[in-house]
Amino acid sequence: MAMVKSDAYGHSMTRVAQLLEGSGCSVFGVAEVAEGVDLRDSGCRGDIFIFLGFYPPDVDYFFSHNLTPVVFTFEDLVRISEAQNERGRKLPVFLKFDCGMSRLGFSPNEAVEVFSRCRKLSIEPVGIMSHFPCSDNRHSKNSQHVADLFYRIDCQNGEKLPLVRSICNSGGLLYQPYSHGDMVRIGISLYGYYPDGDKGREKKDEEGLRPAMSCVSRIIQVKTVAAGSGISYGHTYITDRETKIAVLPIGYSDGVLRTMSNRAEVLIRGQRVPIRGRICMNMCMADISAIENASVGDEVVILGSQGRETIDADQIGEWSGTISYEVLCALGNNNPREFLA
């Protein structure tokens, strides 16, 4: 299953799904019903799973748009049963169990009751799901415990049910081979990143996952300021020498998080240069004193490669105190996008 929720982690849900479907992928995962509707309306023919439940009025969309609900409450089982009875048509339903995430899902201890309730409601579950909380740590013993708990669920009461079993996220796929089951759900690794960040690659020069997204801007003004000049709001950076500054038309409303102020770097003419002062809503400033002839219109790489240098979402995550997932969503969802595939 290709996870294309949250607009495919900022990469465009519909474009990513079209590309993957053309390459043979036939199963897609989204968070909300609205995403599933948009994906189906865009022409997606594959199975589309909805992971965050549904509001009662939205149950119609499962039928009209051929969507698959992932159910984690008894109340939603009742709603689906009522909807099936009204339409004389059954839905393919997956059941979500919480095996250690302390998030969505029935308790494994409720499995007998869950399956019994499904029989009484004439719901025929076709699969069960759970989620690893620590699979990004390849050495964690937690994942083995969670997997053992999950794979015992369909044996409750001595009954072996013919269910599709799915627990693996990207970390599970890469680091927990004993737990793959019938269907893995690929998220961050689909977009070129390891779930444990830069540690995911064994050797720095090893060919591995390749990031799909880059983010570029342009210099809109170059100016020279004297030593002792404060840069941006609050003057959190004071120049200690005459400094050449490039003003860039990208800021925290565009996904360049304010927490990167005075920490981040960008690429200009193949060189790393530091961001100086606080990042503004629509702008930030870079110190280009070390670059000869930098000028208005020069390309600025926020995320990606230029020359021999590369800045990836893991490094941006370190500067901003977050992870690659948030970086990709922030940059991808807040800027115009050009698709090269």
Cβ partners under 8 Å of residue 69, min gap 6: 49, 50, 53, 54, 62, 76, 80, 91, 93, 94
Per-residue DSSP letter, 304: E
Kindly give the pairing relationship between strand 299-306 and strand 27-30. Answer: unpaired
Supply 22's token pair. 């053309």
Is residue 252 part of the annotated active site? The answer reads no
Annotated catalytic residue 233: yes
Pairing of strands 284-287, 271-276: antiparallel
The encoded tokens of residue 240 equal 């200690």
Assess contact for 180 and 169: CB atoms under 8 A.
Answer: no
Q: Which residues contact 56 (CB under 8 A, 6 or more apart)?
A: 79
Task: Count the residues in the chain.
Answer: 341
**Given the structure tokens 């008894």, which residue do they identify?**
74
Q: Are strands 271-276 and 237-238 parallel, antiparallel or unpaired?
A: unpaired
| CB contact at 8 A, 88 and 110 | no
Catalytic residue selected from 9, 151, 233, 325: 233
Token pair 């989620």 is at which residue? 131
Q: Which residues are catalytic?
A: 5, 233
